[in-house]
Structure 1
Amino acid sequence: MQKRKLTAGLLCGVLAAGLLAGCGGKDDANTGTGGASPDANKQVTIKFHAFGSEAQQNWSKVINAFQTKYPNIKVDLVNLSEKGDTQEYAKKLDLAAASNEAMDVIMFSEAGMYAQRVALGMVAPLDDYISKEGYKVPEEYKVDTKLNGKYYALPGKFNPWYVLLNKTHLDEAGLKVPTDWTWDEFRDYAKKLTKGEGPTKRYGTYFHGPQGGGWLEFTRLAMANQATGGDYLKEDGTSNLDNPNFRKSIELRYNMEKVDKSSTPYTDMISQKLNYRPQFFNQAASMIVIGSWMNSEIGGTEQFPLNFNVAVAPFPKNNAGDKETYSMVTTDFYAMANNSKNKDAAYQFIRFATTEGVIAQEKYVPSWAKIKDDQLSSIIDTILAGTKNPEKVDKESLKRVLLSAKSTSLVPPTSYNADVYKVINEEYEKLILDKQNVDQMIKNSQERTQKLIDANKK
């Protein structure tokens, strides 16, 4: 399962100093020769620091495909966590950097991990290479990885959020699989899909957060389907809680639970320690908003068999007239080590790994926007083939959603992101437990977040 929360404040003290010494403190240090290709006659070996077992990641397929295309570049995989534990990986990576070990390509699993290492000078900007090759990242990839005006990584896999649907329930209610819809329509579907009363009641939807300072995506659903402004803080570090879509997100959640009674009560989620997988697969809820890391499970697994038909709908929009479908997206960030002595070759591998390499990997849907429909169809077939009942999945709906989704812009995490999450979680709980109203919840969240911002100003 994907890690859900941004890592913040990972590095400090001696380690931070060691990283800066080992990586070079300036953004533009040793950036090589722009987008130049390495000399085809010169043999080069690059170190690729990554994580995940061969079964999880198919690294040999990626590396073999790359070395076939670029026989002069040998890739030495440095796997810092065979079990795919990203926390173990981060610790070992930081120690390696502090020891000034040779590094060329570094993989990060989440935006927080990526942004923190950029701030410490561990990775080099790729802008010169991108400019020389002549493409624009937002047109080439579905995830925009820009930080502070520069590109320090290119995105690998593409896991947008979407809505999983119990198609059997939809058919019973005479509802079509949405191909383009709004949060108002999502709310209407949830009401129509809710059935029964008491312990056996079936809810239209289940929201898996916020809880314990995590899964905060569920308090910014209407914020996340915009090109920018999808998070609680803006890129300049100021508060974004006066954004009307924050209020809309909170009101949506409140009204669906308290007025419509179409979403599983928050108190049930907390007291019964509910999880989205059993809620959906046991048919206690007809729809769940979740990330597409579920692609490999929606056809049913040993633990959660599939006894109904499944379809996929896009992340709902705020307004019917919105042209694009944006959502939260998780990805892998492929970056170039600032102390790399093989920057041209490192860039060549980054570019391959985030385009043709993801296809060769046969594990994920790529962030690469140039993927063809038949390639995506083949990838989805391969992913679904690993499930118990792929024939019960509406593959066309899944394909349609994955082709059209885009990510809201990345906001660099701060060292106090977790504190902001805690504040919003606490204020939301007071609201949903009827200890304050929506106006008070918004006001208190704004005031407490502003205090955190002010306290952390340098």
Structure 2
Amino acid sequence: MKKRWVAGLAVSALFAGLLTGCGNSDNGGSGNADANANSNAGTNAGANAGTNKGGNSGQSGEAVNLRLYTYGTEEAYNWKATLGAYEQAHPGVTIELVQLSEKGDTMEATKKLDLAAASSEQIDVLMFSDAASYSQRVALGMAAPLDDFIAKEGYKPEEDYKVDTRLNGKVYALPGKFNPWYVLLNKDHLDEAGLAVPTDWTWDDYADYAKKLTKGEGANKRYGTYFHGPQNGGWMEYLKLKMENQPEGAEFLKPDGTSNLDDPNFRATLELRLRMEKEDQSSVPYADMISQKLAYRNQFFNQSASMLTIGSWMNTEIGGTDKVPLTFHVAVAPFPKNNKEDETGLTPVTTDYVAVSETSKHKQEAYDFVRWYTTEGQIVQGKNIPAWNGVKSEQVAGIIDTILSGTKNPELVDKASLVSTLMNSKASQIIAPTSYQAEVYKAINEEYEKLILGSQDIDQAVANAQKRVDEIIAANKK
């Protein structure tokens, strides 16, 4: 096992470039910022925490010490109160927190986790910040399968949680926080245009809203929407808009590693982006985003764009901050569907993948903690919206109140639309990333640039992207 980890360290370096979990950076890739809400939220639930989930821990009478390896900071994860609540409810079990990055840097934390595993340190519980880190380390044998524990407890993870964490038919982690993508709306602009806050809409509706919200010309023009990607092979969510709201096939590659670019929804996404920028002129030009290094926060909060499709790590900023103040009313709408009859709520999602170490000598106790932490423990923690379906709407509302209380003007936020959107969001199936994912992203990004900048048409863009991705796949099979 140790040899597999050591050999995997070189591979993990390739994935470092894919770890785009930096929601605090406008140009860093897919967001995965931690909510920075009041650290005392939810601790009142601690007295009774754990009575339903993970009830076997410490029952043998033997003292058990579990080591939890995490990138999560105290500020973002409220560890002292959370772990204290678990220990109080499970006498004989202690949770030793191993902080891998003082600043919550997921890339730094992942490198340290790999080194700890290669050094055979005692690891009982692991946390991964993204699907790439999770799937790669499952392939290296670092995480134990949880299916037997789940069967023993008698529940279905796909029903208990909003995020499907299965890889190759097995569950190796349970999801913690739940950060779905959604649409931020300038409600003042909507009111001005006579538009309602959408609760169930399509991309055609989105494009129609963007046209009606666009106003003015030249340097003072206000655009209906702003898309913050793709950029240098990052922020690729913006080239999968009509793929990501499907239960399966939300990625550029299929589960078997073959290209998924023949999916009509890939072409449809390119058509949507092309139509909104070139025909409707309702989205901020791609050339402006790249040449001016535009920041999505500024585009929305400065009211240069009326709608912003983005991840819900923005919950901690939606009410405005000292750096980026809020001066208008904000509402939230769900990620749009392709067709009216499609399932509502499917959207790109980031989460914490909480796993049991394959080398743990206390797998049952470690699983009990993981199960508790990803259910009642999320309420105790009070920092993020849980991926657990057992959370009630009033509990979500309470967490949102806590998060918004950390912003400058929470009264300007339409909390009802935010809670409703978060409660009804769910993730599509995870497709394990490949070691050459970055090459695939870069190739598709480059072909999109040629399309949007006018050097090739959409037929050429799709064909060239398919050709290049097929070549990348073939080269990596040798």
TM-score by length of 2: 0.89
1:37 to 42, 56, 59: 56
- Give the Cα separation in 2 of the matches to 1:399 and 1:183: 21
Instruction: Give how far 1:179 is off.
Output: 0.4
- Partner letter of residue 426 of structure 2? K
Q: Does 1:57 align with 2:77?
A: yes
How far the C-alpha of 1:52 sits from its partner, in A, is: 3.0
1:426 CA drift (Å): 0.1
* Equivalent position SS for 2:275: helix
Corresponding letter in the other structure for 1:241: L
The structural deviation recorded for 1:39 is: 4.6
Contact 1:110–1:330 under 8 Å retained in 2 = yes
* Residue 69 (structure 1) aligned with residue 98 (structure 2): no
Amino acid at match of 1:227: P
In structure 2, the residue matched to 1:120 is 140
1:383 maps to which of 398, 403, 410:
403
The correspondence of residues 215-364 of structure 1 with structure 2, limited to 5 A, is 215-364=235-384
C-alpha change, 1:377 and 1:416, in structure 2 (3 Å) is: same
Unaligned runs of 5+ residues in structure 1 are 1-9, 19-34
| C-alpha contact 1:180 1:316 (8 A) present in aligned 2 | yes
**Shift in alpha-carbon separation, 1:14–1:173, aligned structure 2, 3 A:** closer
2:300 is paired with a residue of what secondary structure? helix
Assess, with a 3 A threshold, how the Cα gap between structure 1 residues 14 and 385 changes in structure 2: closer, same or farther. closer
Cα-to-partner distance string for 1:383-413 (whole Å, 9 max, x where unaligned): 1110000000000000000010010111100
Counterpart-to-counterpart distance in 2, 1:377 and 1:59? 21
CA distance in 1, matches of 2:64, 2:173: 21
Q: Per the alignment, in what secondary structure is the counterpart of residue 69 of structure 2?
A: strand
SS in 1 for 2:177: coil
Shift of 1:323: 2.8
- Using the alignment, how far apart are the partners of 1:408 and 1:344 within structure 2? 29
Q: Partner of 2:355: helix, strand, or coil?
A: strand
Distance 1:129 1:14 in 2: 27
CA positional deviation for 1:37? 2.6
Tell me the distance in 1 between the aligned counterparts of 2:315 and 2:175: 18
Instruction: Report the Cα offset of residue 16 of structure 1.
Output: 6.4
Task: Say if 1:16 and 1:120, in contact at 8 Å, map to a contact too.
Answer: no
* Counterpart-to-counterpart distance in 1, 2:293 and 2:58: 57
1:117-196 map, 5 Å: 117-196=137-216
The equivalent of 2:40 in structure 1 is: none
Question: 2:460, 2:373 → 1: CA distance?
Answer: 48
Letter in 2 for 1:307: T
CA distance in 1, matches of 2:92, 2:164: 30
- Matched AA of 1:42: E
What secondary structure is seen at the aligned counterpart in 2 of 1:84? coil
SS of corresponding position for 1:122: coil
- Selected match of 1:400 from 407, 411, 420: 420
Equivalent position amino acid for 1:433 in 2: L
1:283-327 Cα distance to aligned partner (Å, 9 max, x none) = 000000000000010000011100000000000000101133201
For 1:355 and 1:375, how far apart are their aligned partners in 2? 12
Contact 1:36–1:344 under 8 Å retained in 2? no
**Any idea what the Cα deviations from partners look like across 1:347-399, whole Å, max 9, x if unmatched?**
01100111111111111000001101111110110011100000000000000
Contact 2:182 2:312 in 1 (8 A): yes
Q: Which runs of 5+ in 2 are unaligned?
A: 13-53
What secondary structure sits across from 1:158 in the alignment?
A: strand
Structure 1 letter corresponding to 2:313? W
Aligned mates of 1:206, 1:14 — CA distance in 2: 39
Q: Which amino acid aligns with 1:282?
A: N
**Cα distance between partner residues in 1 of 2:414 and 2:202:** 21
Query: Counterparts of 2:406 and 2:218 in 1: how far apart (Å)?
Result: 37
* Number of equivalent positions: 433
Letter matched to residue 371 of structure 2 = R
Query: Aligned partners of 1:453, 1:312: CA distance in 2, in Å?
Result: 39
Is 1:369 aligned to 2:389, yes or no? yes
Q: Structure 2 residue aligned with 1:443, among 449, 463, 466? A: 463
Match of 1:30 in 2: none
